[in-house]
Structure 1
Amino acid sequence: MSFLLEFVRAPLLVGAVAPSSSALARVATTVVPRTGAPVVVELGPGNGSFTGAIQQRLAGRGRHIAVELNQRFAERLRGLHPGVDVANVDAADLGTVLTDRGLDTADVIVSGLPWAAFSTGRQLAVLSGVVAALPPHGVFTTFAYVHARWAGPARRLLDSLHVHFDEVVVGRTVWANLPPALVYHCRRPNERG
């Protein structure tokens, strides 16, 4: 299945013409613990670039739930990663996804969502769901493309992250990605947003 074809079919849902690189996946998933049994939620896994990296870090431990709206991507993920619980729903339904699985929270949420393609309301709805799903020790990572970092939607996302988390660390540029990207590491979610 062509990632580019999925982009052409639904550019505002896919949000990129190429999948994330393994270099970006490594940086975005460094927050997944290598010990214990964490609950890891992946939002917008697409073709599974981050999925494989998360599975490597978990090494059979914990739970990995992937929330993917695109049915073709969801079906492909199920086939490639049978150990991943794939929910073919909107990321805004994260609370329901967790509740349906008997969970209150997730320890880590890794996002591959196309935030810059989202309206203000959609960004806020998904981000509010992320904050509600994280315990105080929870960590959230997402990324932005360097070339679009100063565009309105990307600035709006970063501003929202600063409102919803006590700590937002902007990682170094991952040049080995098309286009180059940087990762936001967000810790200590709060409800003031």
Structure 2
Amino acid sequence: MSFFTEFVRDPRTVSAVAPSSPALSDVAAAVVPRTGSPVVVELGPGTGAITAAIQRRLRGQGRHIAVEINPRFAHQLAARHPAVEVVHADATDLPGVLAQRGLSQADVVVSGLPWAAFTASHQRNLLSAVLDVLPPHGAFATFAYVHTRWAPPARRLLRSLQSRFDEVLTGRTVWANLPPALVYHCRRPMADMSPGLMSARERGDMVQIR
């Protein structure tokens, strides 16, 4: 009910009517290593469904930083998960968020952001922020809803991921989610591209979608 209330208040930043299911959360969090002490950043944690899955994989190790733009979600998340460093901020400020905490990189970034609801420029800014903090061995995971997978914003996102990561794997459809979704697991980030180095196809998307 809390999630649905926030969706009604601001559907631009809360694009689903319910939190991610445990099944989807486990698939999204699968990029988090079970060993070592990784730095894991979570973008758009909402009420904490994926947060809980990440915490289970970390098992008290490493560092988990959750960046949430919704102040009510951020407050609730901090209360539910005291081991998580919850930051009320915009995900596009990710490099600055980490710098304030003495970090320049994250080993893994897991996103619950509503990419299909974002403009082309906002998607680029978010991906640039992610790439700015991922080292060559870094990994990124995000998901897309099946019913929006073929819409222009979702197709643009997938092409952007494929042009910015050496490996992009599309997971199986998680039907036990409302709505059904699939996860993109991305590894080995490549150098971010400036607008002048964007592919002709991406530039064409910008002209058509704006």
User: TM-score normalized by structure 1?
Assistant: 0.98
Partner of 1:110: 110
Q: Which residue of 1 aligns with 2:91?
A: 91
Report if aligned partners of 1:32, 1:58 keep a CA contact under 8 Å in 2.
yes
Q: Distance in 2 between matches of 1:95 and 1:179?
A: 31
**3-state DSSP of counterpart to 1:150:** coil
AA at the equivalent of 1:29 = A
Please say if residues 98 and 105 of structure 1, whose CA atoms lie closer than 8 Å, have aligned partners that are also in contact: yes
1:40 alignment partner in structure 2: 40
| Partners of 1:2 and 1:39 in 2: CA distance | 29
Aligned to 1:57: 57
Structure 2: distance between partners of 1:111 and 1:46: 11
Asked if residue 75 in structure 1 is aligned to residue 75 in structure 2, the reply is yes
Deviation, 1:192, is 4.7
Give the Å deviation of 1:132.
Answer: 1.1
Residue 177 of structure 1 is matched in structure 2 by 177
Superposition map of 1:78-157 within 5 A: 78-157=78-157
- After superposing on structure 2, the runs of 4+ consecutive aligned residues of structure 1 that deviate more than 6 Å are none
Q: Is the 8 A contact 2:47 2:76 kept in 1?
A: yes
Partners of 1:32 and 1:121 lie apart in 2 by 28
2-structure distance, mates of 1:164, 1:67: 22
Give how far 1:4 is off.
Answer: 0.6
Q: CA-to-partner distance for each residue in 1:52-98, whole Å, 9 max, x for gaps?
A: 00011101100000000000000000000001001100000000011
| SS of alignment partner, residue 12 of structure 1 | coil
The change in CA–CA distance for 1:52 and 1:192 in structure 2 (over 3 A counts) is closer
Q: CA deviation at 1:8?
A: 0.5
The residue type equivalent to 1:4 in the other structure is F
> May I ask how many residue pairs the two structures share in their alignment?
193
> What letter corresponds to residue 53 of structure 2 in structure 1?
A
- Aligned residue for 1:167, secondary structure, equals strand
Q: Is the 8 A contact 1:161 1:168 kept in 2?
A: yes
Structure 1 residues 166 and 74: alpha-carbon distance in aligned structure 2, compared to 1, 3 A threshold = same
| CA drift at 1:40 | 0.2
Q: Give the fraction of aligned pairs with identical amino acids, expressed as a percent.
A: 67
Amino acid at match of 1:23: A
- In the TM superposition, residue 15 of structure 1 has moved relative to its aligned partner by 1.0
SS in 2 for 1:183: strand
User: Does structure 1 conserve the Cα–Cα contact (< 8 Å) formed by 2:64 and 2:85?
Assistant: yes
Please say if residues 128 and 192 of structure 2, whose CA atoms lie closer than 8 Å, have aligned partners that are also in contact: no
List runs of 5+ in structure 2 lacking aligned partners.
194-210
RMSD across aligned positions (CA) = 0.7
In our comparison, the structure showing a higher alpha carbon Rg is 2
CA distance in 2, matches of 1:37, 1:146: 33
